[in-house]
Structure 1
């Protein structure tokens, strides 16, 4: 792509979120870096770069520093891309590569397998429930147990405090659910949400 349009960014973002980073998306990073000051495309360009790097793309120190500085500047006033910029900072720093973090903080929803019986479970932060994904309506469910804010530590604490400083209550709540507990509604196995979603 010689020049990115809004449609190009939307398409590439969808591809990365659906299938992870590939050679084409990684090759787009320098051009995304050239857009960080664009008043219309800058936030999405940095959010997309975060998604690419979070997917495990080899970290380019120079580009990562450009994106990190831009995300620090854009984050306080970001709207649609707030969760992606917040999660992207971890990848820009090389701290953590959690490709599913941003989508969960944004959509507040995950599908995960039960670590015991393997049933696919939908974790719906908005309703504070876990339900078997094949159940069409709200039938057999179990409550999600968000971690108390005072118990958050490490990266979870940092994410929460950053969102708190920016007044992002929905993201703050999602972080508590992300690092909280869930119970399989079928076999009653209890597990930590982040273990299943983030792999750590």
Structure 2
């Protein structure tokens, strides 16, 4: 049983979240969902005790509610932050496991909110880094330092091309080199899971983008070749508690 009197929300209040949850459980209340999002997830990636306390009830609503599914996913995407609620999050293991199965089933239905659900599932799997940065590969750019010469390299994966380049703020991306996508057999770890899931669900653009993200790039400055995902992860991986 949740003691809501001890569960402050992101606005440092304790009474509004349980009332709002009761409202959305009774009916699909747009204003209540809006306020729940405001109280359970802050724009600058912070969550609160009430956020994790609300997870089981959100998961119960999630099969039939885009709002519940999305809000639960957003909470999980921020679970790596400095929220001070490790014990409370651990107590939600059953709800998180249920959310994992729900999201995987949802992805297989090829929904309109596929990318949001995909990122939420990454967070549920503890892959907070990729949950935070993965885009739809229509206009995605990743910035890395060449591991050999240290020059700043821009990686483009989208409608404008799939290349490595040196970014000049007057001339744009110059000295472009085509990326070398990884084959399905070459991708390992979380990259393989991401790629196989996108392929399974017929998300060809996403699968192709992942193959390039976990492939190799050539440095325009020294011509050395490196793995894009490895270098991006090493430079941007969040600090874990």
Check 1:183–1:71 CA distance in 2 against 1; reply closer, same or farther (3 A cut): same
Per the normalisation by structure 1, the TM-score is 0.75
Structure 1 runs not aligned, ≥5 long: 17-21
For 1:46-92, what per-residue CA distance to the aligned partner results, in whole angstroms no more than 9, with x for missing partners? 33134123668745223421321331232223333x33433443442
- Residues 46 and 70 of structure 1 are in contact (CA less than 8 Å); yes or no, is this contact kept in structure 2? no
Distance 2:100 2:74 in 1: 13
Structure 2 runs not aligned, ≥5 long: 1-8, 10-16, 21-31
User: Matched residue of 2:173: which SS?
Assistant: coil
Superposed, which structure 2 residues align to 1:10-21 within 5 Å? Answer: 12=41, 14-16=43-45
Distance 1:10 1:124 in 2: 33
For 1:143-176, what per-residue CA distance to the aligned partner results, in whole angstroms no more than 9, with x for missing partners? 1111022333343222222111211011101210
Per the normalisation by structure 2, the TM-score is 0.64
Distance 1:56 1:147 in 2: 35
Higher Cα Rg: structure 1 or 2?
A: 2
Give the structure 2 partner of residue 51 of structure 1: 77
Superposed, which structure 2 residues align to 1:97-136 within 5 Å? Answer: 97-101=127-131, 103-107=133-137, 108-126=140-158, 127-136=161-170
- Residues 140 and 185 of structure 1 are in contact (CA less than 8 Å); yes or no, is this contact kept in structure 2? yes
Check 1:129–1:15 CA distance in 2 against 1; reply closer, same or farther (3 A cut): same
* Aligned Cα root-mean-square deviation (Å): 3.2
Q: Please report how far the alpha carbon of residue 183 of structure 1 lies from its aligned counterpart in structure 2 after TM superposition.
A: 1.8
Distance 2:116 2:165 in 1: 26
Report the number of matched residues.
191
- Residues 167 and 173 of structure 2 are in contact (CA less than 8 Å); yes or no, is this contact kept in structure 1? no
Check 1:142–1:71 CA distance in 2 against 1; reply closer, same or farther (3 A cut): same
